[in-house]
Amino acid sequence: MGVVWKGHHLSLDMPVAIKVVRALDLNDPLKHRERLRREAQMAARLNHPGIVRVLDFMEEGNQPCLVMELVEGSTLDAYLRTRGSFPERTALLMAFHLAGGLAAAHEAGILHRDIKPANILIANDGTLKISDLGLARPLADSSLTDHRNVMGTPLYMAPELFTRACEPDPRCDLYSLGVVLYQLMTGAAPFGGTTAQVIHGHLHLTPDMTKIPASSRHILARLLDKEPRLRIGSARELREMLRARVLEIDALARPGNPSRSGSQARIHGSDSRLIERLEKTLSSESIADGKTIVHTTGRERVLVGILLGALMAIGLVSWLLTR
Ligand SMILES: Nc1ncnc2c1ncn2[C@@H]1O[C@H](COP(=O)(O)OP(=O)(O)OP(=O)(O)O)[C@@H](O)[C@H]1O
Ligand SMILES: [Mg+2]
């Protein structure tokens, strides 16, 4: 869609990312710029930790430019290309976080329209951020036009986008997030090959679920359903399903549970330090209703026990002295 520069916002005195957007609708560049401006204005109203913040929109020599928060790190795409997949819990946690960002956008009336690993940034501190919100597709008309062919990879596109002139719908984003989750768990998108083979896969083939841990298959099956009406209804609902699944894994992994499973086994090739950072950062977001999951170590639990014991002893001694 354009070129992204690292820059410095002089009046705010902060580093920023500046995206110089290529004119996509060459027949009507004015209309295109106006549409980008409106979408940038909508995106700028969103303030969610899972979405790259839009700070400004300007035109430089007739070229629309979007000024965003600078996310130091890498794209999920770069990670997946070089390091492969993630353990099940990390992948679910990542999708949980992304579903939170997507829910905030959808509830504000903004569709993403191009969810894919290249538009997901992993910050160095382990935060995940969705970028290019609402800006990725220049045309309201969802039919498969030349523009769409030229600009998008079909790997992540919902099947209905290839066959019908339908209104853009949040469920298209959910399908794309399903493809991303599939890739997080297996290292590859469900349908590969030439463009024609990928489109054929989206339209007619059932994704191979053998590499997906059995207890997460129902979530993927409902995200990747060919029929939009049978898909998970909203990003918020998806978030709840992912939350439930992560809590289930945590309950199984508790010491003393006889069915403690190997679902968190490290997948060969993945970067354990990055995974630790992701798990730490993403788990610190409230995942259990009203409760934050805190991963305590055995040593921390012993220390808390000693502290509580000491407090009780002090209380008892002072009660005895005052009698
Ligand atoms: N806010 C940001 N902070 C830091 N880096 C960014 C930011 N936005 C984009 N980038 C970097 O710029 C690169 C190019 O982004 P860009 O969105 O133009 O390309 P893309 O997502 O690969 O393709 P598309 O043109 O379909 O959006 C990204 O891969 C990422 O490395
Ligand atoms: Mg992008």
d(CA 284, CA 276) in angstroms, rounded, equals 12
Query: What mean pLDDT, rounded, does the chain reach?
Result: 83
Terminal C-alpha separation, the chain: 78
38: left (phi over 0), alpha (psi -120 to 50) or beta: alpha
Residues 101, 33, single domain; the answer is no
- Indicate whether 319 belongs to any domain: no
User: How much is the pLDDT for 173?
Assistant: 94
Average pLDDT, stretch 22-37?
72
User: How much is the pLDDT for 321?
Assistant: 86
Q: Whose CA is nearest to atom 25 of ligand 1?
A: 1
The sign one gets for the Cα dihedral 66, 82, 156, 122 is: negative
Q: Whose CA is nearest to atom 11 of ligand 1?
A: 4
Tokens of 48: 């969610």
1 Cα: distance to centroid of ligand 1 (angstroms): 9
What three-state secondary structure class fits 293?
Answer: coil
59-68, 110-119, 189-198: range with lowest mean pLDDT: 59-68
Instruction: Report whether pLDDT(223) > 80.
Output: yes
Ligand 1 site, residue 52, Cβ cutoff 6 A: yes
80 Cα: distance to centroid of ligand 2 (angstroms): 16
**Among 154, 164, 158, 151, which Cα is nearest to 198's?**
154
Q: Whose CA is nearest to atom 4 of ligand 1?
A: 71
- Indicate whether 317 belongs to any domain: no
Instruction: Report whether pLDDT(103) > 80.
Output: yes
What is the DSSP code string of 142-160? -S--HHHHHH--GGG--TH
User: How much is the pLDDT for 239?
Assistant: 94
User: How much is the pLDDT for 135?
Assistant: 62
Q: Which atom of ligand 1 is nearest to the CA of 129?
A: 1
Question: HSE (CB half, 13 Å, CA atoms) of 323?
Answer: 6
Q: Greater confidence, 45 or 236? A: 236
| 8-state DSSP, 214 | G
User: How much is the pLDDT for 276?
Assistant: 78
Q: Which of 41, 69, 97 is the last residue of a domain?
A: 69
Residues 262, 172, single domain; the answer is yes
The per-residue pLDDT for range 112-142, each reduced to its tens digit, is 888 999 999 999 888 899 998 866 454 343 3
Q: Which atom of ligand 1 is nearest to the CA of 135?
A: 27
Tokens of 21: 């957007």
Angle between helices 235-253 and 88-107 (to 10 degrees): 160
- CATH number of the domain at 55, please: 3.30.200.20
18 Cα: distance to centroid of ligand 1 (angstroms): 10
- Indicate whether 315 belongs to any domain: no
- Indicate whether 235 belongs to any domain: yes
Q: Which residues pair with 74 in a beta bridge?
A: 122
The contacts of residue 261 (CB under 8 Å, 6+ apart) are 249, 252, 253
Q: Greater confidence, 24 or 31? A: 31
61: left (phi over 0), alpha (psi -120 to 50) or beta: left
Ligand 1 site, residue 131, Cβ cutoff 6 A: yes
Residues 36, 126, single domain; the answer is no
Residues 52, 137, single domain; the answer is no
Residues 153, 6, single domain; the answer is no
Ligand 1 site, residue 186, Cβ cutoff 6 A: no
233 Cα: distance to centroid of ligand 1 (angstroms): 29
User: How much is the pLDDT for 229?
Assistant: 93
Average pLDDT, stretch 235-243?
95
Of the listed 13, 25, 114, 141, which one is catalytic? 114
- Indicate whether 301 belongs to any domain: no
- Indicate whether 313 belongs to any domain: no
Residues 37, 96, single domain; the answer is no
Average pLDDT, stretch 79-83?
87
Q: How big is the chain by its Cα radius of gyration, in Å? A: 23
Cβ-count burial 114-151 (b if 16+ within 10 Å, e if not): bbbbbbbbbbeebbbbbbbbbbbbbeeebebeebbeee
Q: Count Cβ atoms below 10 Å from residue 85 Cβ, excluding itself.
A: 20
User: How much is the pLDDT for 266?
Assistant: 44
Q: Which of 53, 69, 85 is the last residue of a domain?
A: 69
d(CA 259, CA 154) in angstroms, rounded, equals 40
Catalytic residue flag (residue 250): no
149-158, 184-193, 202-211, 224-233: range with lowest mean pLDDT: 149-158
User: How much is the pLDDT for 294?
Assistant: 44
Residues 191, 44, single domain; the answer is no
Residues 49, 81, single domain; the answer is no
Ligand 1 site, residue 98, Cβ cutoff 6 A: no
Residues 246, 287, single domain; the answer is yes
What is the DSSP code string of 44-103? HT---TTBPPEEEEEEETTEEEEEEE---EEEHHHHHHHH----HHHHHHHHHHHHHHHH
pLDDT cut 90: percent of the chain above it: 48
16 is in which domain, residue-wise?
A: 2-69
Q: Count Cβ atoms below 10 Å from residue 229 Cβ, excluding itself.
A: 7
The per-residue pLDDT for range 260-319, each reduced to its tens digit, is 544 444 444 556 777 777 777 777 766 655 444 444 556 666 788 888 999 999 999 988
122 Cα: distance to centroid of ligand 1 (angstroms): 12
Ligand 1 site, residue 1, Cβ cutoff 6 A: yes
4 Cα: distance to centroid of ligand 1 (angstroms): 6
Q: List, as ranges, residues with CB under 5 A of the ion ligand 2.
A: 119, 132
Phi, psi of 65, deg, nearest 5: -130, 135
Residues 65, 79, single domain; the answer is no
Q: Which residues pair with 51 in a beta bridge?
A: 130
Instruction: Report whether pLDDT(27) > 50.
Output: yes
- CATH number of the domain at 110, please: 1.10.510.10
Ligand 1 site, residue 66, Cβ cutoff 6 A: no
Among 18, 115, 121, 122, the mutation site with the greatest number of ligand 1 atoms within 8 A of its Cβ is 121
Q: Whose CA is nearest to atom 24 of ligand 1?
A: 1
User: How much is the pLDDT for 290?
Assistant: 41
Residue type present at position 79: Y
The per-residue pLDDT for range 150-184, each reduced to its tens digit, is 334 789 999 998 887 667 789 999 999 999 999 99
For the chain, the domain total comes to 2
- Indicate whether 254 belongs to any domain: yes
Instruction: Tell me the pTM.
Output: 0.81
Tokens of 323: 């009698």
Residues 10, 145, single domain; the answer is no
- Indicate whether 159 belongs to any domain: yes
Residues 34, 78, single domain; the answer is no
Ligand 1 site, residue 49, Cβ cutoff 6 A: no
The contacts of residue 119 (CB under 8 Å, 6+ apart) are 75, 112, 130, 131, 132, 136
Average pLDDT, stretch 88-105?
94
